[in-house]
Structure 1
């Protein structure tokens, strides 16, 4: 094109600018995480006082209250105790639910299955999101707080979000039940060069913690070896 050289130069300048400043995108996240840590510490300190005043049974009960309810509890030192137990029970029920893979804005549940004939028997079919093949011990986690990973483990979980990113330093592969090419786990796996697959239905149930598995991040499937 007649103006191709000029456009190429502009593109190169924009690429250099992007590479120079892209690191700054992490600063707002860093600030938010720092602030929320302080907020949480302050809330738990207040919760401790409410426990000592016999308003709450344990500090973690504070998570079952709205902020307005917490303000009233602090002000009056009274609380409708069944509210906390009811909400904790609801939370436990919700944790056991399995959401549909696809839910449209109209509320329609769209179901489907991978159709692949070129895979080993008993392979868990998935969507390839980060190329490579890796073999190792599966660590099945539902809560990052329970993470006890060793170098070389393969993380198996429902999904990941930015709070899980520190775990990617230790693992050498990723398997999630939900996700796509541009979801958090897929993007971070590619950045770290870790073989990864997503969309493995019931992965956290079919794969047992400690089992040896092989992740085919290029072809999109998981093999349970032992």
Structure 2
């Protein structure tokens, strides 16, 4: 089977509804098992097995819904590619391996792999494993979003507190008065309170 793309047979009028997959497998037999297990109507792109470094670029080009890999043991190049994909174009990643190595599962998961399966590649397992990978990816993405939101809120509070303290020091305002002044300005300018606080800090040298 040469590298390329395939539409698995389907009666569905819209094959893309069954998903777009990018598959990288070093062995022909592994590719065959993966393709046999994917849903009918899926669009499958086959990545060159020996070009791990090209995976991030292929993901950008193909825009798959999921990446499925199969190898004996993932090497550093493959893990680095997964990490780049996770940072630039996050998507569910399934990796089947033939051998288990110390800390390899941890490294793979840290690189962005959603499901790491040792010695378990069969056509029958593809669908359930991909379902688990999708759910874990969603949960991980939601957690990261919450963490980012929490960090942004904490950073905003720190900026607002600094600006409020500056007004209290330079203008002799009470804490409540300083906050209300910033809030009124934010409302009049239709800008977030954090932006007003940042503006105040940026002109602190010329504030009376």
Alignment TM class, shorter chain as reference:
under 0.3
Determine which structure has the larger helix proportion and give its number: 2
> TM-score normalised to the size of structure 2?
0.27
Q: Bigger radius of gyration, 1 or 2? A: 2
Q: Tell me the TM-score normalised to structure 1 length.
A: 0.26
